[in-house]
């Protein structure tokens, strides 16, 4: 199966704010869609995170996108909407020591995000598709498919509005 993985446009939020499942709009989804259309085969089905920064882009790419909560960004629980520099240092340190397994207070771990995203992909029954999602989801999927150890997951970076083409074996 061929997947075109797209990260949403830059969210409309102040720098330094922790946002995961905060439902934020993204910058100019129509312009992002216009640029992405040149990279995508026409007529592909589009699946998206239901969060606005993804959903708006998905709607600009396709008249009838599908939405699935398993494509939502990591739930940062008690950290959502807070400035990163206001989150207790011991919590940030614990997360840094176990990027994959640490469960953010009131939220979820990256391993849980990975499992729900992999479950979504396993359920796809199309030869090729577009998926509009978040950097965290992209990171855990590509880390899995590339066989990266947990401590290297953070090395994977994705620009806003970028598209990655991957071939996934069933």
CATH number at residue 72: 3.40.50.1240
- On the question of pLDDT at 170 being above 80, the answer is no
Among the listed residues 73, 79, 92, 81, the one whose alpha carbon sits nearest the alpha carbon of residue 136: 73
CA atoms lying within 13 Å on the CB side of residue 164: 20
Number of domains making up the chain: 1
- pLDDT 10s digits, 88-136: 999 999 999 999 999 999 999 999 999 999 999 999 999 999 999 999 9
Dihedral sign, Cα of residue 99, residue 11, residue 4, residue 129: positive
CA dist., res. 166 & res. 3, Å (int): 5
- Each residue's pLDDT tens digit, 48-102: 999 999 999 999 999 999 999 999 999 999 999 999 999 999 999 999 999 999 9
**Single pTM value for the model:** 0.95
Domain that holds residue 106: 2-167
Q: What is the pLDDT of residue 169?
A: 85
Residue 161 reports pLDDT greater than 80: yes
């Amino acid at each position: 199966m061929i997947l075109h993985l797209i990260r949403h446009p830059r969210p409309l939020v102040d720098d330094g704010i922790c946002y995961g499942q905060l439902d934020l709009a993204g910058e100019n989804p129509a312009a992002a869609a216009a640029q992405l259309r040149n990279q995508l085969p026409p007529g592909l089905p589009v699946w998206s995170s239901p969060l606005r920064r993804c959903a708006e882009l998905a709607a600009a790419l396709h008249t009838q996108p599908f939405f699935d909560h398993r494509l939502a960004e990591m739930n940062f629980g008690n950290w959502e909407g807070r400035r990163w520099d206001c989150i207790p240092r011991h919590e940030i340190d614990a997360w840094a020591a176990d990027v994959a397994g640490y469960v953010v207070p009131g939220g979820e771990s990256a391993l849980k995000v990975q499992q729900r995203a992999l479950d979504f992909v396993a359920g796809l029954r199309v030869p090729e598709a577009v998926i509009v999602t978040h950097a965290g989801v992209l990171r855990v999927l590509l880390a899995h498919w590339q066989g990266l150890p947990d401590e290297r997951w953070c090395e994977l970076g994705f620009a806003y509005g970028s598209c990655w083409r991957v071939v996934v074996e069933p």
